[in-house]
Structure 1
Amino acid sequence: MPSIDFQLERDFIELNQLLKLAGLCDSGGAGKALVASGVVRVDGQVETRKTCKIRAGQRVEVGDTRIEVAAG
């Protein structure tokens, strides 16, 4: 499973923006569509809130790609 280490510069990032900045989609709108499709998991649970706040220490998975979010 490919893994991406994402350094968080603030307290949180919205899920759709994280997907865009991690390179898993081209735009925030595409990130929202990806979340709406039900393929995004946060800490092992399917997440359907497109702008859910992701904080350091959380893990986001899309298909076979994992994003590890750490404090920057």
Structure 2
Amino acid sequence: MPLTNQSGMSTGRGILTKYERECLAGEHEKQREYETRSRVRSRLDGPLSEDIEHLKEYDPGLLEELREVVCEVSDE
């Protein structure tokens, strides 16, 4: 079932699936955790990098919003 925002529009997913979050949290066997890390690194080096380049060229304001979310410093 796709994620939705307040207006009911589909939002897709972020970088991790629910299962990958579980793997990284140690809820599955250790091998799955290693495999998940590899898949996420592939996304960071591939599709995410391509999306960032696209935003850089066509919507720098949206790229800045992404930077604010990713680079936000937590008080915790």
TM-score grouping bracket, smaller chain normalisation: under 0.3
**Bigger Rg, which one:** 2
Q: Give the strand-richer structure, 1 or 2.
A: 1
TM-score by length of 2: 0.27
TM-score, normalized by length of structure 1? 0.28
> Which of structures 1 and 2 has the larger relative contact order (alpha carbons within 8 angstroms, sep 6+)?
1
